[in-house]
């Protein structure tokens, strides 16, 4: 088992401890529709190598990071995930530390079977920049999600035929909220294998609080492969390159913004103020507070 697989296995074990309740309905031993309640805060790694997913949040908040994007989803909002790798930060809900999620999993082989006479997905290889997108919650999307509650309350009502009908209903609703003209267009968007570019991952998450290992996961690479490819691309190690970029951004914010030093620390991707201050002083030669004071003094003299 490689290091990436070991890391994911450990993350999955931690996640299981955070799941408070889960109900799911399957077709051929694969989960199609599920309702999950999780304890927050929690960071969750999810790998969709050949699967798309519709998520709706009954309560709580989610910060979703993919290889090429970041999306914030609030309570009662929905998001459609293309196949790919994701980190999900579940944020504590104000009324009690849980989040409730409705997930509908879309498998290309199952959808091909359902739509075998209606232009099934072609799965053409190519580069797609958008991994996930919010879905405009129409009254029909809301009614569809709320209508699933009766099946979670009465699971004996659920059959394979009913699940297929629900998948068809969701696809039709998604077509109404998407620019895709046909089912085939929608499926191509969801399931086209993506060539993830290292540059896009780095630029998207340069100021996120993600570790080098987490960036490697988004790239679908082991940590050692990611470091090796990064060195070839940037002629520097990931840790050094990202640290310098973050500290340079911090310098700019200290000069031009009124954000507190603590706010700047977190905004540029550090998650510890003490570590940020030490790194800044080592890089610049003075503390963030001293740097801001000198910048303000110089600006006053110029004025």
Q: What is the pLDDT of residues 62-81, one digit of tens each?
A: 787 777 777 788 878 888 88
Spatial distance between the Cα atoms of 73 and 75, rounded to a whole number of angstroms: 7
Contact 107, 62 (CB under 8 A): no
Measure Cα distances from 262 to 41, 185, 209 in Å: 21, 46, 14
* Length of the chain as a residue count: 303
Global pTM exceeds 0.75: no
Cis peptide before 43, with omega less than 30 degrees from 0? no
Spatial distance between the Cα atoms of 242 and 255, rounded to a whole number of angstroms: 20
Select from 192, 172, 185 the least CA-distant residue to 120.
185
Spatial distance between the Cα atoms of 33 and 169, rounded to a whole number of angstroms: 13
Contact 65, 86 (CB under 8 A): yes
**Number of helices (H) and strands (E), helices first, in the chain?**
13, 10
Spatial distance between the Cα atoms of 28 and 62, rounded to a whole number of angstroms: 30
Percentage helix, strand, coil for the chain under 3-state DSSP, each rounded to 5: 50, 25, 30
Tens-digit pLDDT string for the chain (303 aa): 444 344 434 444 444 457 788 999 999 999 999 998 887 777 766 655 667 889 888 777 778 777 777 778 887 888 888 766 777 776 655 555 778 889 999 988 888 888 876 655 554 444 444 466 777 777 888 899 999 999 999 999 999 999 999 999 999 888 888 766 677 777 777 776 666 788 888 988 999 888 898 898 888 888 999 999 999 999 999 999 999 999 999 999 999 999 999 999 999 999 899 999 999 999 999 999 999 999 888 776 665
User: Can you name the residues that pair with 48 across neighbouring β-strands?
Assistant: 84
Helix (H) or strand (E) holding 87: strand 84-91
Select from 176, 58, 66 the least CA-distant residue to 132.
66
Contact 98, 37 (CB under 8 A): yes
DSSP annotation string for 77-118:
-EEEEPSEEEEEEEEPPTTSSEEEEEEEEE-HHHHHHHTTTS
Chain position carrying tokens 């994007």 = 69
Neighbours of 32 (CB within 10 A): 21
Domains of the chain, earliest start first: 3-191 (2.60.120.10), 198-302 (1.10.10.60)
Tell me: the pLDDT tens digits for 135-147? 777 788 889 999 9
How high is the pLDDT of residue 274?
94
Tokens of 197: 């570019």
Tokens of 18: 């955070």
User: Can you name the residues that pair with 53 across neighbouring β-strands?
Assistant: 81, 105
Name every residue whose Cβ is closer than 8 Å to that of residue 96 and which is 6 or more positions away in sequence: none
């Amino acid at each position: 088992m490689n290091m990436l697989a070991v890391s994911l296995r450990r993350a999955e074990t931690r996640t299981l401890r955070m799941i408070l309740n889960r109900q799911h309905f399957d077709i051929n031993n694969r989960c199609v529709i599920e309702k999950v309640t999780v304890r927050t805060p929690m960071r969750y790694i999810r790998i969709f190598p050949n699967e798309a997913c519709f998520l709706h949040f009954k309560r709580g908040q989610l910060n979703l990071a993919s290889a090429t994007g970041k999306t914030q989803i609030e309570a009662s909002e929905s998001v459609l995930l293309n196949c790919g790798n994701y980190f999900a930060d579940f944020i504590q809900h104000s009324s009690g530390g849980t989040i409730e999620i409705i997930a509908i999993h879309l498998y290309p082989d199952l959808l091909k079977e359902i739509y075998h006479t209606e232009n099934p997905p072609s799965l053409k290889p190519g580069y797609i920049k958008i991994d996930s997108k919010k879905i405009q919650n129409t009254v029909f999307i809301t009614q569809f999600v709320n209508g699933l509650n009766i099946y979670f309350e009465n699971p004996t009502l659920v059959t394979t035929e009913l699940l297929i009908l629900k998948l068809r209903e969701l696809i039709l609703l998604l077509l109404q909220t998407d620019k895709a003209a046909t089912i085939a267009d929608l499926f191509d968007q969801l399931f086209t294998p993506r060539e993830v570019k290292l540059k896009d991952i780095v630029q998207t998450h340069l100021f996120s609080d993600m570790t080098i290992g987490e960036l490697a996961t988004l790239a679908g690479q082991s940590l050692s492969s990611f470091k090796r490819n990064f060195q070839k691309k940037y002629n520097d190690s990931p840790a050094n390159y990202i640290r310098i970029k973050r500290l340079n951004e911090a310098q700019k914010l200290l000069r031009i913004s009124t954000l507190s030093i603590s706010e700047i620390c977190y905004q540029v991707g550090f998650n510890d103020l003490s570590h940020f201050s030490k790194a800044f002083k080592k890089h610049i030669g003075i503390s963030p507070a001293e740097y801001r004071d000198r910048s303000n003094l110089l600006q006053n003299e110029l004025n």
